[in-house]
A and B are shown apart, each in its own frame.
Chain A
Amino acid sequence: MWRFIFHRLLQAIPVILAVITVTFFLVRTAPGGPFDSEKAVLPEVQRALEAQYKLDLPLHEQYLAYLSDLAQGDLGPSFKYPGRSVNEILFSGLPVTAELGFYALCIALVIGVLAGVLASLKPNTPQDYIPMSLAMIGICMPSFLLGPLLVLLFGITLEWLPISGWGDIPGDKILPSITLGSAYAAYIARLSRAGMLEILSQDYIRTARAKGLPEWQVVTRHALRGGLIPVIAFLGPAFAGLLAGSFVVETIFQIPGLGRFYVQAAFNRDYTMILGTTVFLSTLIILFNLASDVIAAWLNPRLRAQYQRGTR
């Protein structure tokens, strides 16, 4: 097992290097630069700015300088926010985005697994159709539509919940978490239904039923563990996706998270910020994928055996 983890980490290094290199050169081929503005920039000012940010060096020197800073954990200064480093901006936004993602994932898991399991127990009956139709709607409904609808209903009409902010007013974390979580709840519902259906038709479930176990014990003790493996495999990428993809929700609800910086950096041609967020998030995605593989192996004896034999 440890050997498996070690191998995967080794594989990750060239992947991250490739991400850095491609991003570094790609952002520089985009038209326009970080200091372009609607008012013409005087040539002497442009020169001074480029010198302060080392943009006057040849491109390969800039690249090497970036790599050597990165090796020391320094992602450089932000172009858009003078006086702030990319590290600082990342670490101010990350806890907020991670908390939002965590709540969203909890909501998605509870609703999704419940709906999926219910549906799988009586396939092709209303108990299946209703939750699955809702899941389909959840997948199709984008957060920029669901968010404002929830705000309108619970925030403005009913006045139950605050409509913006994060940790400023009690309850202001509820609507964004639900908005972000709902699409994932829908995916999880479909995954757990499919997983459960496959497991419920297996021999060992028939055996469990045959020895007279009540149905709820069959489901919770025997079927769930195997049936949820696809869901577990999905969780790693899902959480990474929640971190990188919370931009819309953060904008709707005025949340000081990472997503807004990530997207705006590209519009601002904030080179260091684009690189920093991309490198950071791709590292996270690799780590989360690895973690979900490890958990899946722990849950699934067949996979575990494969890893131990080192055939994978």
Chain B
Amino acid sequence: MRSISQALIGFSVMLILAACGAGESNVVQGNRDGILHYGNGAEPQGLDPHVVTGVPENHIIRALFEGLAVKNPITLEPEPGVAERWEFSDEGRVITFFLNPNARWSNGEQVTADDYVWSWDRALHPNTGNLYAYMLYPVANAEAYAKGEITDFSAVGVKALNDTTLQVTLNTPTPYFIQLMDHYSTFAVHPETLLQFGEKTDRFTPWTRVGNIVTNGAFTLEEWSLNRRIIVKKSPLYWDRDRVSLNGVVFYPTENVVSEERMFRVEQLHYTSVVPLDKIPTYRQMPDSPYIQSPYLGTYYYLLNTERPPINDVRVRQALSMAVDREQLARTVLQNTAVPAYSITPPGTLGYFPPQVFEYNPEQAQQLLREAGYPNGEGWPGIEIIYNTQEAHRKIAVAIQQMWKRTLNIDVTIANQEWKVYLNSVSQGDFQVARRGWIGDYVDPNNFLDLFIKDGGNNNTGFANATYDDLILYRAPRAPNREARYALFTEAETMLMEEMPIIPIYTYTSKHLIHPSVEGIYPNLMDSLNLKYVRLNPNRRLAGVTD
């Protein structure tokens, strides 16, 4: 009983203390000390660049590690990272990276070309089970090695010519390869550190823990409290340290978006990973609004199972797509937070603008459905839309259900499935219409268009077209220049949208609340943030925050 009463007394004291003023907010304190408070969406699965997948992991790993080349946060064009420059030879098939001799691991050792050879061996090794191993498949023989068809890594096209020269040989010229060097699956890890805790290909050793981990980026790991926060601080050994303005970053696993928004409102966060839809209109109206929205390299679409009647008929697929009023959907359900999409590739993907093959056209949709044998919906057997359980997906499905009913007079049922059940249905082809989203791994139309090659792992529609495969797999990679390549992509995408194995619905946007004191976070298509460009300006305050 004694301990209970003690706890109660302590509790009341806390209440009184707290009531006397909650003290300085994180933002005010952070602005003074150069610490960014960052809402990161979820607890990262881990920090091993060859093991994890996901956006929250990406943010932290790219603060801790640096790739051979990084993306400029404004243009997204590659700029020097660990490599100070690179040269192409053999018509772009061979790339020679010249490593910065000042690039250091956080234990003081130099980052060498051998570290990269060792790390890429690990990233590709079948035993590692790296979900992103395919990022390195453009490298000669990498795919065969990852699939266990060859076991000798020296046959793979990556060689250390000396400590600071790394030579990479590709299968075919791959225009986006330099971009991939900013993806964590291609990052180097410190070999001796990993070997200290286990085998090269072990997934679950404690090498990424505080005190064990050795990194080469602008920040080092300071604290990792599970589900509470991750703190990184500025690295004194990073080669470009003079450019780094922040002294540290605190990443919060803000799983609940509503709580995250409230944390922002009371200035516990500088930056939120996302914004709840119903709060957006209020933030938009604020003077000097902290709400930042920009196009994002991702498309929201419906998969159509082309092997199941009645949507095995291309006219039915076209009718369904043309009967979706995307403008209205974007305006109402999505509150102007999304861009209507008429293609799979987001517009402006490194200068590529997809063709618009069709538009919202109720009359033509009705006509097509009549031709397919369902005049005014007569004889329609009914179809089902499945989506993973989430309010936003449900709203969109309901809106589309009504549009189809109104325009085509057909009955559609909608069904939600729990996430893993939904994934299972989609991969087994056990659906007629399924909600889907695709976020680009790198900025290139290829990343979207190669989804639909025959038997592609993410095709899921049964769509197969030999001419399409030839365009994507053979002709586009060999195009002499960007214009010719994009012309081939346009041709392929036109073909795709005429066959309509998917119904594109909208292009994603990234949505953040960013405190006015934060400078150097630029909106871009990848929602890519390079923390070394970020500065805090204590003089800027959030409008509407009452003291």
Contacts and interface: CB of A to CB of B under 8 A. Distances in A.
Contacts of B268: 162-165
B46 A83 contact: yes
Interface residues of A, number: 61
A155 interface: yes
Contacts of B537: none
Contacts of B456: 40
Contact of B420 (A32, A93, A173, A251): A32
Interface in B1-30: 4, 7-8, 11, 14-15, 17-19, 22-23
Interface stretch (A45-53, A183-191, A278-286): A45-53
B129 to A, nearest CB: 4
Interface string B400-421: 0000000000000000001111
Nearest to B437: A38
A164 B425 CA distance: 38
A69 B490 CA distance: 57
Interface string A144-164: 000010010001100111111
B15 A174 contact: yes
Contacts of A220: none
A89 B226 contact: yes
A104 B19 CA distance: 20
Interface in A78-124: 80-84, 89, 92-93, 102-103, 106, 110
Main secondary structure of the interface of A (DSSP, over half): loop
A83 B48 contact: yes
Contact of A83 (B133, B208, B258, B259): B208
B256 interface: yes
Interface stretch (A129-137, A192-200, A252-260): A252-260
B262 A164 contact: yes
B510 to A, nearest CB: 18
Contacts of A40: 427, 456-458
A43 to B, nearest CB: 9
Interface size on B, as a range, is 35 or more
B262 A155 contact: yes
A301 interface: no
A45 B129 contact: yes
A171 B21 CA distance: 10
Nearest to B426: A38
B304 to A, nearest CB: 18
A5 interface: no
Given A40-B458, A162-B18, A83 B205 contact: yes
Interface string B484-504: 000000000000000000000
Interface string B188-225: 00000000000000011111110000000000000001
B358 to A, nearest CB: 26
A36 B424 contact: yes
Interface in B254-279: 254-256, 258-259, 262-263, 265-266, 268
A170 interface: yes
Nearest to B262: A163
B254 to A, nearest CB: 7
A247 B133 CA distance: 35
A254 to B, nearest CB: 6
B45 A156 contact: no
Contacts of B23: 169-170
B51 interface: yes
A30 interface: yes
Contacts of A48: 126-129
Given A36-B420, A171-B15, A171-B18, A82 B204 contact: yes
Contacts of B127: 48, 51-52
B424 A256 contact: no
A80 B45 contact: yes
A267 B48 CA distance: 23
A252 B14 contact: no
B227 A93 contact: yes
Contact of B423 (A36, A42, A254): A36
B259 A37 contact: no
25 contacts: A38-B423, A40-B458, A42-B457, A44-B148, A51-B127, A52-B203, A52-B204, A80-B45, A81-B46, A83-B204, A83-B209, A89-B226, A106-B4, A159-B22, A162-B22, A163-B259, A163-B262, A168-B228, A170-B17, A170-B23, A171-B17, A251-B256, A252-B256, A254-B252, A254-B253
The 4 closest A-B pairs by CB, nearest first: A171-B18, A32-B420, A40-B457, A48-B129
Given A41-B131, A156-B266, A162-B268, 11 more contacts: A36-B427, A39-B53, A42-B131, A45-B126, A48-B127, A82-B203, A93-B226, A170-B14, A171-B22, A254-B252, A254-B256
Interface of B: 4, 7-8, 11, 14-15, 17-19, 22-23, 43, 45-46, 48, 51-53, 126-131, 133-134, 146-148, 203-209, 225-228, 252-256, 258-259, 262-263, 265-266, 268, 418-421, 423-425, 427, 437, 456-458, 546
